[in-house]
Amino acid sequence: MNKKIKVISCILTVAVMALIFFFSSQNSTESSEVSSGVTKELVEFFVGLLHLPDGNEAELVDMLHNFVRKTAHFSIFAALGFTSSFAFLANTSKRGRDVFLAAVIFSMLYAVSDELHQLFVGGRACRVFDVFIDTCGAAFGAGIFAALMSIKRRVDYKFDWWITCTVIVMLIIFLFSSQTSDNSNDLSRTVAEWIVGIADKVFGIEGLTVAVVNARVRKAAHFMLYFVLGGTAALMLIKKGGFRAHNAYLIAVIIAAAYAACDEFHQGFVDGRGPLVSDVRLDSFGATAGSVLCAAACRWLSNRKERKRNAVIEPPCMNNDFDQGGKHES
């Protein structure tokens, strides 16, 4: 496998292991504060999203706190199972089931060492049940990796991934535009409330209002969706259409701008929504940024490959001991 892929797989695995070690190095008070804070934010988010009655947040936090901690165990070791599977596949001769087993055993041993490490941390303890949860998480992550590799082997490599990605982004935009004004505003307002809460409690930023943040969230969503659309459209044109980078980004912007205009026209038929020229302009800016970035990245990668090809060492010239006629010079 490519040397860069080998290095990246090892770096990802070590990074996950370091993250696990960091969390295990926290004393019981620090660890509980982090998990309680995460649980509280999750409860507040879902209470707002599902419009549940207020006043029961504290009860829900107490009820879900232990579940969140165990889910964190499972999730972070699922990440380790996934990355270690990647590392074993990239750096060893193991394949298929052997990669899965190696990743699970490796993660289980690290889980055991992690629990032993917690014996030396204030207020923490070594729990066999946590090792079991960690191992289950690792098996889940390794299983996901194995499934993805199996799908990759069976999918035709000529499959038009970039065309599919572009169509998927268009469908996502269409689905959001099909929401009524109330549903759309409820979704963006929930995100805005979450941002305001994080800004206040985590970063100590006061004075932000939900109404102002909500407006910014809606415009940012416009920009980012069309940023992605512009990027995928540019890559589709370069990879599948054979266009040069500077032509691809221009055509991608035209495609995205035309789709933005159609999308705003479509909103004229949705309850409480309406077409806005300013949104088409914002969408076009997002598509321009995304397509230019992707086209520039493709151009840079292409030039880099060209330089590498041209950097091949030429064979040394033979001594000019013979004249052009092939006779030795006297």
Residue 185: predicted pLDDT:
84
| Cα separation, 43 vs 60, whole angstroms | 7
Q: Give the pair of three-digit tokens for residue 85.
A: 């599977």
Global pTM value: 0.51
CA atoms in the 13 A half-sphere facing the CB of 54:
1
Over residues 122-141, the pLDDT tens digits come to 888 888 888 999 999 999 99
pLDDT at 70: 87
What residue type is 89 in one-letter code?
L
* Residue 330 pLDDT grade (very low, low, confident, very high; cuts 50, 70, 90): very low
Rounded to whole angstroms, the Cα distance separating 74 from 69 reads 9
How many other CB atoms sit within 10 Å of the CB of residue 303?
11
Q: Is the pLDDT of residue 193 over 90?
A: no
**pLDDT score of 151:** 65
How high does pLDDT run on average in the chain?
82
| Residue closest to 267 by CA, chosen among 194, 213, 218 | 218
| 66-69-75 Cα angle (round to 5) | 140
In the three-class reduction of DSSP (H, G, I as helix; E, B as strand; rest coil), residue 187 is classed as helix
Query: Taking the domains of the chain in order of start, what are their residue ranges?
Result: 3-154, 161-310
pLDDT in tens, 48-60: 666 666 667 777 7
- Looking up tokens 């309406």 gives 274
d(CA 8, CA 16): 12
* Whether the Cβ atoms of residue 85 and residue 12 lie closer than 8 Å to each other: no
* Segment 219-250, tens digit of pLDDT: 999 999 999 999 998 888 887 777 887 788 88
Q: Note whether 73 and 133 are within 8 A (CB).
A: yes
> What is the DSSP secondary structure assignment for residue 322, as one 8-state letter?
B
Contact 229, 173 (CB under 8 A): yes
Band of residue 200 on the pLDDT scale cut at 50, 70, 90: confident
| 80 touches 20 (CB < 8 A) | yes
C-alpha gyration radius of the chain: 27
**Contact present, 72 and 66 (Cβ < 8 Å):** no
Residue 274 vs residues 8, 91, 168, 265, 289: alpha-carbon distances, Å = 47, 55, 24, 8, 25
Element (H, E) at 87: helix 57-91
Q: Mean pLDDT, to the nearest integer, of 16-40?
A: 85
Tell me the pLDDT tens digit for each residue of 270-306: 888 888 888 899 999 999 998 888 878 877 887 887 7
**Residue 49 has what pLDDT?**
64
Nearest alpha-carbon partner for 30 in 123, 108, 106, 130: 123
How many angstroms separate the CA atoms of 227 and 312, rounded?
38
